[in-house]
Structure 1
Amino acid sequence: MNWLDGIINNINTFFYSKVLIIVLIGVGLFFTFKTRFAQFRLIPEMFRLLTEKATIDRSGKKGISSFQAFTVSAASRIGTGNIAGVATAIALGGPGAVFWMWMIALIGGASSLIESTLAQVYKVKDGKMYRGGPAYYMEKGLKKRWMGILFAVVIIFTYGFVFNAVQANTITIAFEESFGFNRLVVGIILSVITGIIVFGGLKRIVGVTQILVPVMAIMYIAIALVVVILNITELPGVIALIFKSAFGFEEAFAGMIGAAIMNGIKRGLFSNEAGIGSAPNAAATASVSHPVKQGLIQTLGVFIDTLLVCTATAAIVLLSDAYLQGNAASVNLTQLSLVDNLGSWSGIALAIGVFMFAYSTVIGNYYYGETNIGFIKESKTGLLVFRIFVVAFVLFGSVAKVQLVWDLADLFMAIMALINLVAILLLWKVAKPVIQDYMNQRKQGKDPVFYKKNVPNIGDVECWDEEHHAEEKVSGS
């Protein structure tokens, strides 16, 4: 299989060093300037919106709140990309890779705002809940169902199967190294738990993630803060090392600037998913009064993922010498670094943390696949087969060597991003007046409410008319 590894690696090198870097940064900068740096100037608004309650329909049923939709997307974002991915980026690209991960998040925040706003605009009613995402705005906004189906197929394979195999693999490796547990046994347990949750539906997914995600993020950042405090005098040197290495000014990493950029972009995109088209699937489920509200919430998710959680891992790794030894390049590098800083107990704590991070990601990934199955064709049989394959890939990933799977994940992630970035660029003509409508209402001191009649040539929009708003009211109003 070495020949296949070589082919995929060459394709990935072409995508990430030539094509995706231009498109990803170019589109991100376009939206950054067009929105007048909205991803930065509206940060206070993002935190305000995070506490908004969901709407309640006439029957008294509560929808999914902004925070709940945020945790579903965070469940997919915050996973092995933050622990194993960051360590891998440093091992292969040097400390400078962290800088480029930051840059991708800061620029990509604007793309995240656009894609999640569009997901809200073109969402559809699914019983008492909502469903949407890139496939939906490609069909309804661009009038290109073929493009939506192509994207749906790619995301189903990437998130439903490949990414879940990667997450399960990371869990079993961490538990094998820390506790000596048999990977197959752990894999069987993971598969059973996955089956129980994915056959329980979206409400169960939301219920699990809104508890799991905040807890695991707080615990992990707390451990990283302990490491930083214990090594506070070394922190300025670490920060300087990241910046110097990013531009090849650090002698030890002078020849790695290309590797730093490529690995920073590759692992940054895998971690924060800005512009890739995954988070909009969760964003569409929220019951909000204006599409931009959820766009801003999802942008906050990008920043929390990379600037907090990924930076926490970078601090753990770079405040140790383990990354210079070259005998670890994934989750085991983070484990070695923690043990070096805090002692052997921390490796066990990280194994538990990896389980929480990676398992919540499996849950979020599943939902992305489910909503795109529904886009292609509403089929109970198709959904059943998909769920069975999700559980099977969790078991497969638990025991497999997945270097090829990681490479395939990078390849399909790049394809997803390219399709989605082209779509949201073409739909800027819709996103622009929607964002302007929100800002105008905020300037007037209003709680923004969106009506599709306010935006001409908006396309096939199912929600956002008077009837839509009449069916729901803001909780507590």
Structure 2
Amino acid sequence: MMDLFQIVNSINSVLWGPVMLFFLLGTGVLFTWKLRFLQVRKLGQAFKETFGGIFKKSDAADEDGMSSFQALSTAIAAQVGTGNLAGVATAIAAGGPGAIFWMWISGFFGMGTIFAEAVLAQIYKTRVDGEVTGGPAYYIRDGLKNKYLAGFFSVAIVLALGFMGNMVQSNSISQAVTGAFDVPAVGVGIFVAIIVGLIIMGGIGRIAKFTEMVVPFMAAFYIVGSLVIVFMNFENIVPAFQMIIYGAFNPMAATGGLIGATVKESFRYGIARGLFSNEAGMGSTPHAHAVAKVKHPGKQGLVAIMGVVIDTGIVCTLTALVILTTEALGTGLSGAALTQQGFVNGFGGFGSIFIAICLFFFALSTIIGWYFFGESNIRYLFGKKGIGLYRVIVLFCIVFGTTMEVELVWELADTFNGLMVIPNLIALLGMSSLIIKATNDFEDNFEKGKPSSFENKEKGISKNIS
């Protein structure tokens, strides 16, 4: 088993090396430039599109899709997860506080990528067995005209997120809950599997309702708790930002040699953790944005941008500030333990319970989001008839994941994550001209009330994509 772990780890060191990070970040830079810094020009409108009707009663999700906000909540359910707690801490521990600066950079350019993904997902969404669905497999098959690459993507994401990824998430839940409340890991796994089963058996309607209700609550809970700690240590706020900015270019000076990180490490860990956290370019969130009921692909593209703002700009930043303002960095800890120490320093004994609650909801919502992404690809591969078996395997993985050493599973998930990124980036770059055309149509025609070539007219399905 150790030999297998070493083999997979060696593959990941190449797969997730400088070349992959270059193409992920480079794709974001390309779309940022081609779309004329749309994430800056349209940020206010993106906020309005996302939250303008938050207090209005949304349409129930059905075979025609879900509301724009429900789609974003489903995407954020997957984006905001254990990586926001453990991943940020790992980046700081390995790359110094300056890694957070590079995480912001990856988030900024990732907004361009995730806009492009959402636009393509809307353009190429379709119906399978009467229900609206979509995602990279569909725009790779119908846009690039490559069904083999589309099939490769679908298999990779089902394995990476639906199966192995959810084993990792359930393991994170069991570790947090058993540590804080001293209950058996298997019991936690069965409890989580029952909750997940009750949600996913209700189909898209129940999934949308769950994410719409739980994601805002869990985000607000974590944000408020983090802000309380940061302002309790207000005298360390300015020094924390100084460490982040200075550390991006001179880590040793920022930390007094405590970390010993180089600029290269700061850049590497910041970019990598940022991209893994917000999932821009990975091909996961387009499955949620594809089924949004919007009148133009550009509208959902703007909503998708807010997912990166919330994930990287707010949640990841607050995690970093808790660690830095409470001076938890000097403890020598890493990962979730470092984040937990920051909250313990701020809240005392309640800090462990707070993190356990947050990890539970973060990981649970990620399981639901990743299940949904996997189901979209099961539909692509096998149609509706494959969903029943897929659900059973997911629930088994949730229980089994709580009982095992998770390092190998996490490495395998990273491998298939990398494999699904490649065809998605090929599609984005190969259809960049279509993305730009749809964006120009949105700004020049749709927003001005003129006839639009990309307007969704038939039950949420875009037809005119020439």
Scaled by the length of structure 2, what TM-score is found? 0.92
Match of 1:244 in 2: 246
**For 1:204-353, what aligned pairs fall within 5 Å after superposition?**
204-251=206-253, 252=257, 253-326=259-332, 328-353=333-358
In 1, are the aligned partners of 2:277 and 2:311 still within 8 Å (CA)? Answer: yes
How far 1:337 moved relative to its partner? 1.3
SS in 1 for 2:17: helix
Structure-1 separation of matches of 2:372 and 2:65? 17
Q: What fraction of aligned residue pairs are identical, expressed as a percent?
A: 39
C-alpha distance 449-361 of structure 1, shift in aligned 2 (>3 A)? farther
**2:405 and 2:107 mapped to 1: Cα distance?**
30
Q: Which region of structure 1 is more displaced relative to structure 2, 209-218 or 392-401? A: 392-401
> Which structure 1 segments of 5+ residues have no match?
455-461, 469-477
Return the offset for 1:2: 2.9
Superposed counterparts of 1:462-477, under 5 Å: 463-465=461-463
Distance 2:207 2:122 in 1: 20
| 2:43 corresponds to 1:43 | yes
1:212 alignment partner AA: V
Is the CA contact (8 Å cut-off) linking 1:174 and 1:331 kept in structure 2? no
Decide which of 168, 175, 178 is 1:166's aligned counterpart. Answer: 168
Tell me what 2:376 maps to.
Answer: 371
CA–CA separation in structure 1 for the residues paired with 2:455 and 2:442: 14
CA–CA separation in structure 2 for the residues paired with 1:452 and 1:442: 9
In the TM superposition, residue 297 of structure 1 has moved relative to its aligned partner by: 0.6
- Residue 21 of structure 1 is matched in structure 2 by 21
Q: Give me the whole-angstrom Cα distance separating, in 1, the residues matched to 2:31 and 2:151.
A: 26
What is residue 471 of structure 1 aligned with on the other side? Answer: none
Post-superposition offset of 1:266: 2.7
CA contact (8 A) 1:198 1:205 kept: yes
Larger displacement relative to structure 2 (149-158 or 93-102): 93-102
Alignment of 1:181-220 (within 5 A): 181-220=183-222
- Whole-angstrom distance in 1 between the partners of 2:263 and 2:408: 25
The one-character-per-residue Cα deviations of 1:152-202 (angstroms, maximum 9, x if unpaired) are: 011111110121111111111111221112211111111121222222211
Match of 1:441 in 2: 445
Shift, 1:295, TM fit: 1.0
Q: Distance in 1 between matches of 2:305 and 2:431?
A: 18
Q: Which amino acid aligns with 1:8?
A: V
Alignment-derived partner of residue 7 in structure 2: 7
Change (3 A) 1:406 1:450: farther
2:432 is aligned to: 428
* Alpha-carbon distance in structure 2 between the residues aligned to 1:180 and 1:306: 32
Q: Which residue of 1 aligns with 2:112?
A: 110
Is the alpha carbon distance of 1:229 and 1:463 closer, same or farther for their aligned partners in structure 2, counting shifts above 3 Å?
same
Change (3 A) 1:211 1:110: same
Instruction: Flag the 1:225–1:54 CA change in 2: closer, same or farther, 3 A.
Output: closer
Counterpart CA distance in 1 for 2:327 and 2:110 is: 31
Whole-Å separation in 2 of the counterparts to 1:222 and 1:452: 40
Equivalent AA in structure 2 for residue 9 of structure 1: N
Deviates more, 1:204-213 or 1:22-31: 22-31
1:320/1:4 CA distance change after superposition, 3 Å? farther
In structure 2, distance between residues paired with 1:93 and 1:190: 34
Shift of 1:443: 5.7
CA–CA distance in 2 between the matches of 1:443 and 1:288?
A: 13
Tell me the distance in 1 between the aligned counterparts of 2:389 and 2:455.
Answer: 40
Structure 2 counterpart of 1:141, from 140, 143, 168: 143
Quote how far apart the aligned CAs of 1:333 are: 2.1
Structure-2 separation of matches of 1:276 and 1:405? 19
Gaps of 5+ in 2: none
| Maintained 8 Å contact 2:64/2:131 | no
Cα separation, 1, equivalents of 2:125 and 2:411 = 32
What's the CA shift string for 1:259-304, capped at 9, x where partnerless?
3333223322221001111010000111110011111111111111
Say which of 378, 392, 406 aligns to 2:410: 406
Q: Answer whether contact 1:289 1:449 (CA < 8 A) is retained.
A: no
Would the aligned equivalents of 2:122 and 2:462 in 1 still touch at CA under 8 Å? no
Closer, same or farther in 2 for the Cα pair 1:302/1:344, shift >3 Å? Answer: same
**Superposition CA RMSD, Å:** 2.4
Preserved contact between residue 54 and residue 288 of structure 1 (Cα < 8 Å): no
Q: Is the 8 A contact 1:54 1:62 kept in 2?
A: no
Query: Structure 1 pair 330/249, CA: closer, same or farther in 2 (3 Å)?
Result: closer
Contact 1:55 1:288 in 2 (8 A): no
Task: Give the number of equivalent residue pairs.
Answer: 454
- Residue type of the partner of 2:365? S
Summarize the Cα distance change of 1:96–1:410 in structure 2 as closer, same or farther, 3 Å threshold: farther
